[in-house]
Amino acid sequence: MASKSSLISKQRFLLKLITTFCFLQFLRCVYCSEFEVGERRGWVVPPANDTQMHNEWASKMRFKVGDTIRFKYKKDSVMEVNQKDYKECNSTRPNFFSNTGNTIYSLDRSGFFYFISGATGHCEKGQRMIVWVMAQDASHRTSHASNNAFFSYGLLVIIFAFQFIYLH
C-alpha cells in the first residue's frame, strides 16, 4: 500500500514539474515577436517593378531567435530551402513545406533562412525571401537583462514548487 501511494505522489510530482516547465517556456517567449510577411499584401508574387519586395521587407526587420514569421497567402505555398535551392528556385526538396494559407514559421536558430514559393513560376518572379536571424549578442544587453530577470523569477517558481510538493 505504501508503495502505491508513493507512486501516486511521484506522478503528482512529475505533473507539477511539467507544469512548471511549461510555465517557464511561456516566460521564455514573453519577448518574442511575430512578423507578418508583406505587410498588407501578404506572401504574394511581387509586382514586376518591385521584384525585391520581400527581401526589402525582411532586410528592414530585426529578427531574433524565437521570433515567428506569419505567411498569409491564397492558392500558394511556402517552403524553407537551402541556399542553393533558393538561388535556383528549386522546390524539389524543401526542409519545410506548408500550403495552409496561413503559416507560422518559428525562427529557432540564428543565421540565414531561405524561403521560396512552391507554386510553379512564383519564385522566379521574385516570391522568395532571405531572413537573417541575429545571434543574441552584446548589442541586445537590455533584452538580455530582462530575460535574466524572468529566468530568476522562473527559478523562484521552481523553488516554490519544490517546497509545495515536499509539504504535501
Ligand X SMILES: *[C@@H]1O[C@H](CO)[C@@H](O)[C@H](O)[C@H]1NC(C)=O
Positions 36 through 55 that interact with ligand X (CB under 6 A): 47, 49-50
In this chain, which of 68, 90, 99, 147 binds ligand X, going by CB under 6 A? 90
Q: How far is the C-alpha of 27 from the C-alpha of 35, rounded, in Å? A: 19
User: Which residue in the set 3, 5, 92, 142 belongs to the binding site for ligand X (CB under 6 A)?
Assistant: 92
The backbone region for 121, taken as left when phi is positive above 0, alpha when psi lies in -120 to 50, beta otherwise, is left
**Minimum distance between the CB of residue 57 and ligand X, rounded to whole angstroms?**
12
Burial of residue 77 (number of CB atoms within 10 Å: 0-12, 13-18, 19+): buried
Please state the closest distance from residue 91 (CB atom) to ligand X, in A: 8
Minimal distance, residue 104 CB to ligand X, in Å: 27
Question: Which of these segments, 24-32, 84-92, 130-138, 141-149, binds ligand X (CB under 6 A)?
Answer: 84-92
**What's the closest the beta carbon of residue 92 comes to ligand X, in angstroms?**
4
Size of the site for ligand X (CB under 6 A): 6
Backbone angles phi, psi at 163, to 5 degrees: -60, -40
Crossing angle (nearest 10°) for helices 141-167 and 2-28: 160
Q: Is 111 in the site for ligand X (CB under 6 A)?
A: no
Cβ partners under 8 Å of residue 25, min gap 6:
none
Nearer to ligand X, 92 or 142 (CB): 92
141-167 burial: b if 16+ Cβ within 10 Å, else e: eeeeeebeeeeeebeeeeeebeeeeee
Residues at the contact surface with ligand X, assessed by CB under 6 A: 47, 49-50, 88, 90, 92
